[in-house]
Amino acid sequence: MMIAGKSFNIYSVDVKGTGAAFTTVIDIEKSWASLMKYQLISKQMLKEMLTPQMKEECYGYRIWLDKKEEGMYDYHFEGCDPGISFYSS
């Protein structure tokens, strides 16, 4: 589509919002607390999730690992689509 000399790809994201693009800070806080208290997955699964899975040691299972010092990491999730982004640590 062209408007005033600018092109827009209207097919790059959904036309209407979806559940994947809506949450609250309180929801995310509850998610982190539940994850770290083994309420979402077992202690063993969480340990594997937070263990580096790549040679570069920057990614676990579905979570980014920010190396602080030997064996110590900060964790974060992130994602984006055109016009919206998400980062939580």
Report residues of the chain scoring pLDDT below 50: 1-2
pTM, to two decimals: 0.65
Per-residue model confidence (pLDDT) at position 17: 55
Per-residue model confidence (pLDDT) at position 39: 97
* Contact by Cβ (8 Å): 35, 28: no
Q: 43 vs 6, 28, 29, 39, CA distance in Å? A: 51, 20, 19, 9
Chain center to CA of 24: 14
Per-residue model confidence (pLDDT) at position 8: 56
Assign 83 to helix, strand or coil.
coil
* Contact by Cβ (8 Å): 54, 62: no
Per-residue model confidence (pLDDT) at position 10: 59
